[in-house]
Amino acid sequence: MGRTGIIGAMEEEVALLKEKMEIEVVVKKASMEFYQGHLNGREVVVVRSGIGKVNAGMCAQILVDAFNVSHLINTGIAGSLKAEINIGDIVVSSDALQHDMDARQFGYARGEIPRMDTISFPADPELIAMAKAACEEVNPDIRVFVGRVVTGDQFIAERSVKNEIASWTEGYCTEMEGAAIAQAAYLNKVPFVIVRAISDKADDSATMDYPTFEAQAIEHSVKLVEDFVSRIPEDVY
């Protein structure tokens, strides 16, 4: 039977999931607490990775090595990079790219990690479809978009920085963990998908919007993930 690893960066992003779980064991590794049990009838491990790419990549690798997860879901909140994607909407990753990776001096494309065979990391098509269907079912009052998630070790709060990132990445939203999880999944040949609820517009209004809409965005993503995991066939992976 497959086991789903569910990663959130902040405690607020995983607290509601843990409340809904049947927790069987808690394992501590690398200062992270891994909650193993069942959610909506499926075997899961829920964990708060901490913020940033290093924490996220380490967390994903531990889930693969120590818990033998068959697929990975990264859930949480993000800033919109497109005018039509509003606060409260959901972005499901088509792929993920690190916007702060820049080795152009050595002949690589912007965002390309040297000596990797891809610039962005593609999410699993079946997981994408299931996540989108789950969102449409449980969050009918908001819109769901499938597109590129872009990741960097910075909170984007200035319109000029947002516009510059959007201009070359073709990203739908920006956050601080997804592409690191995607890279770990890619290297381990584990299917993944990123599900992000929009909490701000990643511009000069970010500091004003963020506290107001964070809770609403987290509620949307938790409802989605809870329904999503029940759609994953137990013997698919």
Q: Which of 89, 112, 175, 200 is catalytic?
A: 200
Paired tokens of 120? 């962005």
CB 226 within 8 A of CB 21: no
CB 18 within 8 A of CB 46: yes
Q: Which of 139, 146, 124 is nearest to 193 (CA)?
A: 124
Q: Which of 13, 89, 175, 177 is catalytic?
A: 13
For residues 57-90, b (16+ Cβ closer than 10 Å) or e, as one string?
A: bbbbbbbbeebebbbbbbbbbbbbbbeebebbbb
200 is catalytic: yes
Query: What residues form DSSP beta bridges with 168?
Result: none
> What does the alpha-carbon distance between residue 154 and residue 129 come to, in Å, rounded to a whole number?
29
Angle 228-230-231 (CA atoms, 0-180°, nearest 5)?
65
Q: Which of 65, 47, 43 is nearest to 56 (CA)?
A: 47
124 is catalytic: no
The one-letter amino acid code at 169 reads T
Catalytic residues: 13, 200
